[in-house]
Amino acid sequence: MAETILETAHLSKTYEGAGRSTTVLKDVNFSVEAGATMAIVGPSGSGKSTLLGLCAGLDRSSEGTVHLNNILLNNLSEDELARIRNQYVGFIFQNFQLLPTLTALENVMVPLELRGEKNIRSRALALLDKVGLKERVQHYPSQLSGGEQQRVSIARAFSTQPKILFADEPTGNLDAETSEKIIRLLFDLNQEAGTTLIIVTHDLELAARTGRIIKLKGGSIISDQETFINNDLTL
């Protein structure tokens, strides 16, 4: 039986402001096995990105608990959460979130430097070669296309060999052809690394390529189903 890498219990999130309360997540419960692939879908405002942020330790819940790699996140300090993320978690965002003053190579090296690891330059170069950017390693983000920037962010996300990878609309800013290449790359690298992959997406075709789809509406899970995975992206 596979170990559980992520578990939420009675997870809720309410924002207070301007004299009113807004609940964006209500009593969300699920668990994810290590090595699984899963998509979180739903209309805008359904709570998808909020849920991802809570699961990744980027935000704190109003009620309920999150266990990541069997570690309870709720009572950890910000420094402790940062250490957990750096040790176990990778991120890919819609807007890439590369550091503009660093080259592609330096962006990939940053997480490894934070961990104090060795041979980081050669490891970062190997990853950039793997994502097809061998000739672009000294380019800055502003000198790269959107697809190339997302390739850098994927290389950065996999650089620390994370146990779990969170991708928030990873193809949201890309055209259809580039999106297809990024999706193929993401799943190929994920399968090779054996990482747990959780994707927030509006793209139902992308969601269908994962092993499980959770659908949110109004901050609650309205369906949770396994899918027939078809990752033969050459079809």
Residue 113 within any structural domain of the chain? yes
194/57 Cα distance (integer angstroms): 21
Instruction: Residue 138: give its domain's CATH number.
Output: 3.40.50.300
Q: Six-digit token pair at 90?
A: 């990778």
Q: Is the pLDDT at 181 greater than 70, yes or no?
A: yes
The DSSP code sequence of 120-139 is HHHHHHHHHHHTT-GGGTT-
Residue 235 within any structural domain of the chain? no
Residue 232 within any structural domain of the chain? no
Res. 234 pLDDT band, cuts 50 70 90: very low
| Tally of structural domains, the chain | 1
- CA torsion 17-22-24-29 (nearest 10°) is 110
Q: Is the pLDDT at 218 greater than 90, yes or no?
A: yes
Structural domain including 55 reads: 4-226
Query: What would the pLDDT profile of 1-45 be if each residue is shown by its tens digit?
Result: 679 999 999 999 999 888 899 999 999 999 999 999 999 999 988
Residue 233 within any structural domain of the chain? no
